[in-house]
Chains A and B, each alone.
Chain A
């Protein structure tokens, strides 16, 4: 990246950030809430992308970590009176631990098997949350109702006050920026290259001195931590958790978001999140009776027509428009298209 490109990137980032700050004051409360969920899903999808897109481990069970993060936050806020912002790191650390542990059996499993084991995880977690023995904490089938945190200060912008939803949006936005920057720094360096090497050729990666078990399990942990933090943020913004809101469809949605946004692409997570949040509504408008069928058809159609996702499409358009840009002598290794060893 030349100095000029770097300046442009910074400028774009600053513009986007300014837009994100002004956005909640321009739309209605419900929209603010929806955009908030987009950011939450974006963090979760980014977590899944670290695992599936960059490291090549397929997970159909990230809804489980989302649920655990959400429940961790809800239980801490409701039962122990922990302030909402303090629940995020705890949810992250908890999910990191669980993900790391899940990463060990995952070492033995390739491709379809891992998808299958994690699918079972996604199915089991809602059942586990209803378990009688932990009901004093989780509230059983009823779940836990929380109250939305009030903004610490208030002001008016464009004639709109800073209310709870808008404050939460800004809070989520700050967390999301932090998580995206962290992910960017993690993935573009040595560790990112190790992840991609493992994905593309595990044997060669081992021969190059990468400690496969440790790196893969840690990746699983980091990925779960991202999704757990997103789950906690989700619980705070929805102000309610119940076992049935974390069904297997949530895990499927996250995977869909990942594929739509583009594998192994950090900004793709945002496109994926937009899809996951708004397209079910569109499908619902198209057919009241079978929205998920439309969703499924879209999914298979996307696999045929746009297998590299929104970011892949953007990159292709860019390359066609500016052939010189495509001939970049040193493409970022972490951002090249994915190849499977199987």
Chain B
């Protein structure tokens, strides 16, 4: 029983990370109807920057804040410079550009920071009061951090004028433009926020899985699965989907299929979700006009 509980709890902890990656995907999807294939590599790259800062002796939280801010600016810049020119291009063009970004950032991480596997420190000491019977301190800590991120995001979208403008731009770009919202900049903001969330998720997952340029490849797929399961247009659903996928992954890995086929399980989950509940568990039906 203890072992089972432990699996469930550590599933919840990784589910939190998947949820936040899913959230980042949903944010970009809502605004542009694109799925950002480079999301994982961007997060890995941000984590490497944090690692480099820590190597220079920066205190953890300073490095954390600088990395998140830097990722926000980086995401903004990528949207402005690379993605915007092909905003209205066919789907395939967009997919190719995202794939190009994925390849570039993967290669850059490997080039600048080497392909060796690195340990990434956790800000939560192993013997701190956070640790309980089922949770390690890092797991509790990362869940708390992710919940904080969610709370901040929710407050941002709910209570600030910029948040409102972003929601408007995502929901109805034409009308938003008519009332004076700069829609294109709102999309760029979405990209910035998504890469900042990715950076947080990367820094939270890195102590658990170790840091290397391909760290996020699998996690991205889980994030996709979570986003689809929760409904790709529903931020809260994405987080819930993350928890479900995290627990499911851990239980399946521990008791059913072993750790080797985890990605296959994610693939099956994606295909099953898309076939059985195309709108996700918490998504709404989308009616398209012919």
Q: Give me the interface of A with B, judged by CB distance under 8 Å.
A: 52, 58, 60, 104-105, 108-109, 111-113, 115-117, 119-121, 123-124, 127-128, 130-132, 203, 248, 252, 255-256, 259, 263, 289-293, 295-297, 299-300, 303-304, 307, 338-340, 342
A113-B274, A255-B99 given; A203·B290 CB < 8 A: yes
Query: Once the chains are docked, how many angstroms separate the CA of A135 from the CA of B140?
Result: 39
Interface pair B260/A299, CB less than 8 Å apart = no
Chain B residues, Cβ within 8 Å of A339: 90
Of B10-18, B55-63, B104-112, B182-190, the one contacting chain A is B104-112
B264 located at the interface, meaning its Cβ lies under 8 Å from any Cβ of chain A in the complex: yes
Query: From residue A302, how far is it (CB to closest CB) to chain B in Å?
Result: 8
Interface pair A58/B100, CB less than 8 Å apart = no
Chain B residues, Cβ within 8 Å of A127: 260-264
B103 contact from A109, A113, A292, A304, Cβ within 8 A: A292
Query: From residue A294, how far is it (CB to closest CB) to chain B in Å?
Result: 8
Q: How large is the interface on B (under 10, 10 to 19, 20 to 34, 35 or more residues)?
A: 35 or more
B129 located at the interface, meaning its Cβ lies under 8 Å from any Cβ of chain A in the complex: no
B96 contact from A112, A289, A299, Cβ within 8 A: A299
Chain B residues, Cβ within 8 Å of A263: 92
Interface secondary structure of B, over-half rule:
helix
A300 contact from B100, B217, B218, B225, Cβ within 8 A: B100
Interface pair B264/A252, CB less than 8 Å apart = no
A120 contact from B82, B97, B111, B267, Cβ within 8 A: B267
Which of A116, A131, A252, A304 has its CB near the most chain B CB atoms (within 10 A)?
A: A116
B169 located at the interface, meaning its Cβ lies under 8 Å from any Cβ of chain A in the complex: no
Interface pair A123/B218, CB less than 8 Å apart = yes
Interface pair B260/A131, CB less than 8 Å apart = yes
Interface pair B274/A117, CB less than 8 Å apart = yes
Interface pair B274/A124, CB less than 8 Å apart = no
Interface pair A293/B104, CB less than 8 Å apart = yes
Interface pair B261/A307, CB less than 8 Å apart = no
Interface pair A293/B108, CB less than 8 Å apart = yes
Q: Which of B113-146 contact A (CB under 8 A)?
A: none
Query: Once the chains are docked, how many angstroms separate the CA of A131 from the CA of B110?
Result: 28
A105 contact from B91, B103, B274, Cβ within 8 A: B274
A52 contact from B92, B102, B262, Cβ within 8 A: B92
Query: From residue A261, how far is it (CB to closest CB) to chain B in Å?
Result: 13
Interface pair B99/A116, CB less than 8 Å apart = no
Interface pair A123/B97, CB less than 8 Å apart = no
Interface pairs (22), CB distance under 8 Å = A58-B91, A58-B95, A104-B275, A112-B34, A112-B35, A116-B37, A116-B270, A119-B37, A120-B266, A121-B267, A123-B221, A124-B263, A128-B264, A131-B260, A132-B260, A255-B99, A290-B107, A292-B106, A296-B100, A304-B85, A340-B91, A342-B90
Q: Give me the interface of B with A, judged by CB distance under 8 Å.
A: 33-35, 37, 82, 85-86, 89-97, 99-104, 106-108, 110-111, 217-218, 221, 224-225, 228, 260-264, 266-267, 270-271, 274-275, 278, 290
Q: How many inter-chain residue pairs (CB < 8 Å) link A and B?
A: 132
Chain B residues, Cβ within 8 Å of A124: 263-264, 266-267
Interface pair B99/A117, CB less than 8 Å apart = no
Query: From residue B257, how far is it (CB to closest CB) to chain A in Å?
Result: 9
Query: Once the chains are docked, how many angstroms separate the CA of A94 from the CA of B188?
Result: 45
Interface pair A290/B96, CB less than 8 Å apart = no
Query: From residue A39, how far is it (CB to closest CB) to chain B in Å?
Result: 24
Query: Once the chains are docked, how many angstroms separate the CA of A119 from the CA of B266?
Result: 11
Interface pair B267/A300, CB less than 8 Å apart = no
Interface pair B110/A116, CB less than 8 Å apart = no
Query: From residue A273, how far is it (CB to closest CB) to chain B in Å?
Result: 17
Chain B residues, Cβ within 8 Å of A307: 89, 93
Interface pair B224/A342, CB less than 8 Å apart = no
Interface pair A297/B89, CB less than 8 Å apart = no
Query: Once the chains are docked, how many angstroms separate the CA of A181 from the CA of B16?
Result: 52
Query: Once the chains are docked, how many angstroms separate the CA of A117 from the CA of B274?
Result: 9
Chain A residues, Cβ within 8 Å of B111: 289-290, 293
Query: Once the chains are docked, how many angstroms separate the CA of A109 from the CA of B224?
Result: 14
A338 contact from B90, B97, B271, B274, Cβ within 8 A: B90
Contacts A296-B99, A296-B103 aside, 18 further interface pairs with beta carbons under 8 A come to: A108-B278, A112-B94, A120-B271, A123-B221, A124-B266, A127-B260, A128-B261, A128-B264, A252-B99, A256-B96, A289-B111, A290-B111, A293-B104, A296-B101, A299-B96, A299-B103, A303-B86, A338-B90
Interface pair A120/B263, CB less than 8 Å apart = yes
Residue of A nearest to B232 (CB): A113
Query: From residue B187, how far is it (CB to closest CB) to chain A in Å?
Result: 16
